[in-house]
Structure formats: C-alpha cells, structure tokens
Chains A and B, each alone.
Chain A
C-alpha cells in the first residue's frame, strides 16, 4: 500500500539529511566538506532540535570519520557519515577495511572533482576512485532519487553486509531545490526496520577480535568473501526496490531504460546529466530520430547482464564518463564494453563541474563529439 507522502521543495543535501533523520541512525560521524556539508548541516540541526537521537561524533578528519564508523558499526551501531572529494581521498585507507569487515556503513556522497588543480565542483572522480573497494554504489539523477537511494541503501547495506555509498551530483543535485515526495517517518522506519547486527564487539559471552591480521593462508579467502557478497548484492537490491515500490509508488531497477525499445543510438550515463539527456532524447524523438538513454542506478556491483540486455540490439552506444582515467580507457565505458563485448564510443564530459547542454548531447548522438566534450 502506498503511504501518504508530503511534497516539499528542498535541495538534495537537505533531502538526504531528512532521510537520515527519518532513519535516525545510532551514530553519525561528521566532518564538513563541500558539497557534502548541507547534509550534515541539516541533520545536525535536526539532532540539536531533538528530532533525532543520533550520537553525532564531530571528528577531526575524514579518516577519523570512517574510522569512527568502523568502530561503531563493529560495536553494533547503525553508523553513517557523508563526504566528498578530498574527504573521500583522505579516508581512502579505511574504505576497503569497512567492506572487508562486512560493516553496513552508509556514506552519503555528494560527488565532486578531486584535486589538482583544486576544484570544488561536481564530477564523478571521487566516486570512481573508490569503485573497487567493496562499496556498493548507487547514483541518483534527481533530489528524489538521492532521498530514495539513501533509504534503499541503508536497507541494502544491512542485507548485503557491505558498506553503501549513495551518490548524488555535487551542487547540481546537492544544492538545487527540486520537488520531492517525502515519506512519513513511520513508513521509513518500518521500511529500514530495527538494526540487528550479526556480530558485535559487545558480545561479552562470545568475545571476538575485529579487524585482525589475515596471513597468506586466509587473506585471499576473505577478499573473495567480499567479492561473493558483492555479486549477491544485485539480487538483494532488486528485492529491496520492489518492497520500496510498494510503500512509495516509485519503481526502480538496476538500470533505467529511457526510449530504448527501438533505439538505434543510445547514451549510457549516470547522475544528474541523465535529465539533460532525457530532454534531448525527447527533442530528437520529436524529429523522428531513434535515440535513447540507459541510466545506471546501481554502479557497484556492476549490473553486467542488465546492461547487456538493454543494449544488445543497439547499433551505436555512447558512454559518458564524468571522470578521467589517465593512460587507459574510461571507467563506465570499460564496464559497458565488458557487458557488450564490442567496442563503444567513449566520451568524457563535465570534469570539474563543466556544464553540458542539450545541444552538446545532440552532438554526442551525431558523433560530432569524439572522446572529449571539452
């Protein structure tokens, strides 16, 4: 049954903060960094006003933020943080530890360019830098999706026993006001449920050591355990989004197909740019051109089969990366190629917050833009 929802005009940062308030986690480790700051700013205010009972830990760095999350999650607390860019780079050491310890930490990310040169604007460089660390990664096109992904992500983390990073585009989504449907506190709380840790530091009857050394005899096996958990996360995600649809009325999948049925030319992309691409697709469809969009929602684990099924009959595939890998092919492009087993057209765009217009998307479809939309 679809629950009552309230329409609000808020930014992505506030919407994610509101989702966190509704979940009311046990611990939130906070350290400010643009463009994540509005999430914590909103949430800390809510805690100060008595609208959430979360223990806020104002740490001295992002490395400590993730360390605090790891410690509190190992203790059995539902633990969250939020970060961007250099903050994620600084906590990098702790990220694969969180996944290897199988801790369901949620880190809301407002994606941002990484230095250098110094740049505070949105691209996907930070999210791409952590892509192989055993973190489940979701991408949001809109403020609504950013809100929904945080709730879905929390449940997914606890089902898959892996950390989850719900990503939204820095500034474009985190700081823009959009209309959002906010669920009731009760609906959100019931959906995520009471957190039941599988093993905790505070089990005094069965004392355990967390984060110990694993030598060559077992290290490989523990890494493989994370790999297997990642593989299984895809079906868990599908179960959760189908439950989510029942309470929200919003239907989500691993990927979103937009005008793909008879499409000859398709762009693959993630995040807010998908809105611009949809508008362009509508325009070109109006002129009789068979174009479409494949939007990736679940980026890690990579939904290889869903991508293959969506694109197998498409003549020309253009993959948009908002991140630049030096000396090799681009991340999303490479992943799509793995799914399709044939060459695609790779285009890098939007680095450091450079804007992309409908005209430019049109030029990608016509093949005028090659490799770099610079």
Chain B
C-alpha cells in the first residue's frame, strides 16, 4: 500500500506492504503539478539578477535554478512547479524578481 495520491484504497491485505513511517516513495509523475495553484507568478529581470542563488535555496518547491547565459548565471523558475508563494522576491538582494497576476 502506498501513501500517495495514486493508490489510497486500503484493505486488510494492504497493511503488509504499508510503507514504514508513512514515508512516500516519490513517483513524481503521480503528483499534481503545484504550478496550477498559483494566482501570481515571478518574473525575473536578468539585468538585475547577479546569480547569487539565494532564491534557489529559498524556493519551497525547488522550482528555481541558475542557468548559464552570456551575461553570467541567471535565475529562472519552472512555472509548472512554481506555486506562486512569493518568497523569492522577498529574499532577492537586488530586487530582480517581481510577482505578476496570472
């Protein structure tokens, strides 16, 4: 039996392969893309971004990564996974991120 969205129907027999401590073995394709939740999304101004990576560490969804560009490392968010929480603009030291209504 699995503690995930795909398989939540339990019966007596299901207890034998109950996951230890309700740990979910991540099968990422089964998870709803939290990107659908957002009402706002972040826009990155690559002229201001200095590639410090602070936003990467703070994003609760792990949606941001640094990519190499001719102007150095720049942050980009994967909007399929960005849930629009608005944390990244508050931690960016150069105010390179702004939230926009969807």
Contacts and interface: CB of A to CB of B under 8 A. Distances in A.
B31 to A, nearest CB: 9
Greatest chain A CB density within 10 A among B3, B18, B20, B23 is at B23
Interface string A92-105: 00000000111100
Contacts of B23: 101, 199, 208-210, 212
Given A215-B8, A218-B1, A218-B8, A161 B25 contact: no
A51 interface: no
A222 interface: yes
B21 A102 contact: yes
Chain A binding surface SS class:
loop
Contacts of B3: 212, 214, 218, 222
Interface residues of B, number: 15
A327 interface: no
Given A221-B1, A222-B18, A224-B15, A208 B10 contact: no
A199 to B, nearest CB: 6
Interface in A81-110: 100-103
Given A103-B21, A218-B8, A221-B18, A207 B26 contact: yes
B14 A221 contact: yes
A217 interface: yes
B24 A209 contact: yes
B22 interface: yes
Interface residues of A, number: 22
Contact of B10 (A101, A102, A212, A218): A218
B69 interface: no
A198 interface: yes
Interface string B9-47: 110001100101111111000000000000000000000
Contact of B21 (A206, A207, A210, A221): A210
Given A210-B21, A221-B14, A222-B22, 7 more contacts: A101-B22, A206-B26, A208-B26, A212-B23, A212-B24, A217-B10, A225-B15
Interface of B: 1, 3, 8-10, 14-15, 18, 20-26
